[in-house]
Amino acid sequence: MSAARAIFAERGFQRTTIRAVAAAAEVDPALVMQYFGSKQELFEQAVRIPSIPPLDGELEPVEELLGRIGMKTGPLPQATVAMMRSMLTHPDAAEDVRGRLDAQVAQLAGALDAGDAELRAALMVSMMLGVTIAHQLLGLTALRDASPERIAETLRPALRALADG
């Protein structure tokens, strides 16, 4: 399974082949097919990721989101990277990520007092997703070179403006 996660994380769903996974695992492709039946099933097994931790309510929402910057800019599990790489090209991955993010938006919206709370929450979650993608998948130099603290400090006014209305 670790070979499949690594290949999906590196290439995404579209560019991953059963043959490449089998080669990385040092097994015959027929064995992979025997166990999983299809690339789709292998993908589903390989990218099972834990749900996004809920906001715990101890901090106000902006500070809680900013407190997660370290998680978003630090090493991510290969299954998470594989899901992120695949979410724009594979409908099942997109649906999974959308469901997770919709749940986070709903929870965050419930903690906001401003009008249009759901839209504001969606924009806040989108900003955090953008940071994660730009750092983890694209390796955007300015983000890669900045500390999590500096990223949080720079994001704070934008998130605060969205949260407060």
| CA count, 13 A, side-chain hemisphere, 59 | 10
Nearest to 132 by CA among 121, 122, 144: 144
* Domains of the chain with bracketed CATH: 2-46 (1.10.10.60), 61-164 (1.10.357.10)
At residue 65 the predicted structure's pLDDT band, cuts being 50, 70 and 90, is confident
Cβ(162)–Cβ(120) under 8 Å? yes
Element at 125 (helix H, strand E): helix 117-136
- pLDDT tens digits along 87-145: 888 888 899 889 989 999 999 999 998 899 999 999 999 999 999 999 988 999 999 99
